[in-house]
């Protein structure tokens, strides 16, 4: 047992109780390879001089070999330094490349967004010029404008009313449950009530309600135009500021709100707004079935989309 005789020379008979500890102990005790002492003992017993700590000259290898091996260690270290530096350079260049790519893509998005805006402008300009041309006539232009307003595809401004709907005050408190949350159906009722009361344009938290707008819940979040909106829900309606609030309260939507106020604790308020509110245009979705009426048939109406 090699490590036993080093243990004797190093520390006399260390007590070994814990096998795990003895493993680590052995590593520490054997830190200097026991072969060194063994070779030394052999040499002392042999013909060499005992004090000499260089290899005896009679051996095939000498200090030159030691130097060579030490130089080999140096080469290893040098190669490692170069390799790790090359690696870090590579990582850095990779990161730079990704950053540049991200910036490039961001620029491209900005470019395309600008193109969308420019094309939208062009569409508006072209349709205006078509409507202004003699072929169509001013009556038709006015009709297109009114339809655009009603469909919500043009931005509008004007006075009207504002309905603010909020979750019940105790929503989220322990034991209150989910009853006091404003649902999609509540907002649908509000919007329908406002139409009923004579509103000409409606928006919820700035999302314009257009012909293709859906007000839907996804989990606890209400989506308008597929955009999540959060309470308090600020429903702006453009119409006659003197009659809109009272007409709304008398509408089905108003009745609905008052009912859920009593039963579920929802809070709402309605005020007339005499200053101009600006409502943005609703997004125009992809029209899959509707096609423009040919010029010859314009006089007969455009109700062909109805089932």
Partner 1 sequence: MIPVLGLVAGIVLGIVLDVTVPSSVQPYLPIAVVAAMDALLGALRATLEGVFDDRVFVVSFVSNVLLAMLIVFVGDLLGVGTQLTTAVVVVLGIRIFTNAASIRRLLLGA
By CB under 8 A, the residues from 76 to 105 that bind partner 1 are: 76-83
Torsion from C-alpha of 72, 77, 82, 86, nearest 10 degrees: 130
Closest contact distance (angstroms) between CB of 214 and partner 1 is 51
Interface pick for partner 1 out of 13, 17, 18, 53 (rule CB under 8 A) = 53
21, 28, 146, 147: which one binds partner 1 (CB under 8 A): 28
Does residue 255 bind partner 1 (CB under 8 A)? no
17 counts as binding partner 1 under rule CB under 8 A: no
For position 45 contacting partner 1 by CB under 8 A, the verdict is no
Task: Report if residue 62 touches partner 1, rule: CB under 8 A.
Answer: yes
Q: Which is nearer to partner 1, 42 or 133 (CB)?
A: 42
Q: Is the peptide bond before 232 cis (omega within 30 degrees of 0)?
A: yes
Candidates 34-42, 132-140, 147-155, 167-175; binding stretch for partner 1 (CB under 8 A): 34-42
Asked whether position 14 contacts partner 1 by CB under 8 A, the answer is no
Our CA dihedral for 121, 127, 130, 131, rounded to 10 degrees, sits at: -120
For 21-60, b/e burial (b = at least 16 CB within 10 A) is eeeebbeebeeeebeeeeeeeebeeeebeeeeeebeeeee
Does position 55 interact with partner 1 (CB under 8 A)? The reply is yes
Q: Of 1, 13, 20, 73, which lies in the binding site for partner 1, with binding defined by CB under 8 A?
A: 73
Please name the residue ranges forming H helices in 133-183: 138-151
Minimum Å distance from CB 203 to partner 1? 58
Which residues contact partner 1 by CB under 8 A? 24, 27-28, 30-33, 35-37, 39-40, 43, 51, 53-55, 59, 61-83
């Amino acid at each position: 047992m090699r490590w036993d005789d080093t243990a004797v020379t190093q520390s006399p008979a260390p007590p070994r109780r814990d096998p795990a500890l003895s493993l680590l102990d052995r590593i520490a005790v054997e830190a200097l390879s026991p072969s060194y002492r063994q070779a030394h003992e052999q040499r002392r017993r042999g013909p060499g001089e005992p004090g000499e700590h260089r290899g005896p000259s009679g051996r095939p290898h000498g200090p030159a070999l030691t130097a060579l091996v030490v130089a080999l260690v140096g080469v290893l270290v040098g190669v490692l330094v170069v390799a790790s530096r090359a690696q870090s350079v590579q990582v850095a260049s990779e990161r730079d490349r990704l950053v540049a790519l991200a910036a490039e893509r961001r620029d491209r998005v900005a470019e395309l967004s600008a193109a969308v805006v420019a094309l939208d402008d062009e569409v508006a300009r072209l349709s205006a010029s078509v409507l202004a041309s003699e072929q169509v006539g001013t009556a038709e232009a006015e009709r297109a404008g009114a339809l655009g307003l009603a469909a919500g595809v043009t931005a509008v401004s004007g006075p009207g009313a504002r309905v603010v709907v909020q979750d019940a005050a105790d929503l989220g408190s322990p034991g209150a449950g989910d009853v006091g949350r404003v649902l999609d159906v509540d907002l649908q009722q509000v919007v329908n009530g406002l139409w009923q009361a004579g509103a000409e344009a409606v928006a919820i938290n700035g999302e314009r309600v257009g012909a293709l707008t859906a007000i839907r819940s996804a989990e606890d979040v209400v989506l308008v135009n597929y955009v999540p909106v959060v309470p308090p829900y600020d429903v702006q309606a453009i119409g006659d500021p003197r009659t809109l609030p009272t007409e709304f309260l008398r509408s089905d939507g108003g009745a609905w709100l008052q009912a859920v106020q009593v039963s579920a604790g929802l809070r709402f308020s309605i005020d007339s707004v005499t200053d101009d509110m600006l409502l943005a245009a609703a997004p125009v979705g992809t029209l899959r079935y509707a096609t423009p009426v040919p010029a010859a048939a314009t006089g007969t109406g455009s109700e062909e989309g109805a089932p």
